Amino acid sequence: MSGALYPTASGTKVFESSRIKVDYGNSRFGYMIVTCIGEQTLSFKLRLSKDDRTVLFEMRGGSTDTIPFIFGSGKYDIEAFAKVQSPAYARILKGSIDVQLISPDIVFRYPNQKVNYTKHSLIVLDTENTLKKFNMQTESEKMTLMYNWILNNFKYDTELARNVQPGYLPDPDRTLLTRKGICCDIAAMFAAMMRSQGILCKYVTGWVTMPTGQTPYHAYNEVYIDGDAKFIDGMTVERNKWTRLDLTLGLDHKKIKNYVGFMKDKKNYQDKNQY
């Protein structure tokens, strides 16, 4: 997998209690590894705060997740909570970490809880095989092929959109197998494809202002490549410049006339978090 990076536990710098373990020894690479101890039925929440920004991650007992430091370098306050009885949670861990990233964009090169894959994941192996089959070599060629392939082979899952539950997490392998998904599924899958090839790609959540005036919470991508790219729908990406790609609109483009122009217009999007 060309240029791919994968997280590892350091075992050297750890916060822990009887219920949770936080390994932050590789924080300079933009992540920490968190293990929740107990049965899968147990619910946990992990809160990261830096300056005036806060993000919350939901976890389950028995899980190990890569949690990204999405707010860049600086001091993070970390709090972990376990559900004691519905709906009450009790704090089980508190600490602070001084994070100094090796580069501002290093967070967007690794898998994490939102963009979840390993070197053995189906999405990684399938992407590698597809790119080799068509002899795609450059970042521009690789991204163009996979973007166009998604638009041609996937569909928006309207049933899941109506019934999605709180705490839902995307699974790129599941999306690949079913050939359908909601916005977070498509964005996470595309980010996994790109990162597994060493291509900078953000998974972004925020609000999109639709022509109807509605402002649903949404997930999409931003990419940064070393060559220009042009896709089947007329969307273009300039080299060495972060560019938004909203593949969900491509799959469900009948909702918006000229969705490429809509996607390019900054005023239509209000970013909240970038993973």
Q: Is the pLDDT of residue 105 over 60?
A: yes
User: What is the average pLDDT across 27-50?
Assistant: 97
For the chain, the domain total comes to 2
Q: Is the pLDDT of residue 19 over 60?
A: yes
pLDDT exceeding 90 applies to what percent of the chain? Answer: 94
Q: Is residue 84 one of the residues assigned to a domain?
A: yes
| pLDDT, tens digit (0-9, with 9 covering 90-100), for 149-161 | 999 999 999 999 9
Q: Which of 52, 76, 107 is the last residue of a domain?
A: 107
Q: Is residue 115 one of the residues assigned to a domain?
A: no
Residue 172 and residue 99 in one domain: no
User: What is the average pLDDT across 112-121?
Assistant: 98
Residue 141 and residue 182 in one domain: yes
Q: What is the DSSP string of the chain?
A: -TT-------SSSEEE-SSEEEE-TTGGGTEEEEEE-S-TT-EEEEEEEETTEEEEEEEETT-EEEEE-TT-SEEEEEEEEEEEETTEEEEEEEEEEEE--SSTTGGGGS--SSS---TT-HHHHHHHHHHHHTT--SHHHHHHHHHHHHHHH-EE-HHHHHHPPTT----HHHHHHHTEE-HHHHHHHHHHHHHTTT-EEEEEEEEE--TTS---EEEEEEEE-SS-EE-TTS-EE-TTS-EEE-HHHHHTGGGSTTHHHHHH-GGGEEEEEE-
Residue 188 and residue 233 in one domain: yes
Contacts of 62 (CB under 8 A, 6+ apart): 36, 37, 38, 39, 40
Q: Is residue 7 one of the residues assigned to a domain?
A: no
Residue 29 and residue 69 in one domain: yes
**Cβ–Cβ < 8 Å for 133, 87:** no
What pLDDT is recorded for position 20? Answer: 97
State the Cα–Cα distance between residues 262 and 218, nearest whole angstrom: 14
What pLDDT is recorded for position 85? Answer: 86
Report the predicted TM-score, pTM, of the whole model to 2 decimal places: 0.96
Q: Is the pLDDT of residue 1 over 70?
A: no
Q: Is residue 102 one of the residues assigned to a domain?
A: yes
- Report the CATH number that the domain containing residue 216 is assigned in CATH: 3.10.620.30
What pLDDT is recorded for position 161? Answer: 95
Residue 48 and residue 135 in one domain: no
Residue 41 and residue 160 in one domain: no
Domain that holds residue 31: 14-107
| pLDDT, tens digit (0-9, with 9 covering 90-100), for 209-254 | 999 999 999 999 999 999 999 999 999 999 999 999 999 999 987 7
Residue 223 and residue 87 in one domain: no
Q: Is residue 112 one of the residues assigned to a domain?
A: no
User: What is the average pLDDT across 12-20?
Assistant: 95
Q: Is residue 237 one of the residues assigned to a domain?
A: yes
State the Cα–Cα distance between residues 195 and 204, nearest whole angstrom: 14
Residue 156 and residue 130 in one domain: yes
Residue 65 and residue 142 in one domain: no
What pLDDT is recorded for position 116? Answer: 98
Q: Is the pLDDT of residue 44 over 90?
A: yes
Q: Six-digit token pair at 119? A: 């070197």
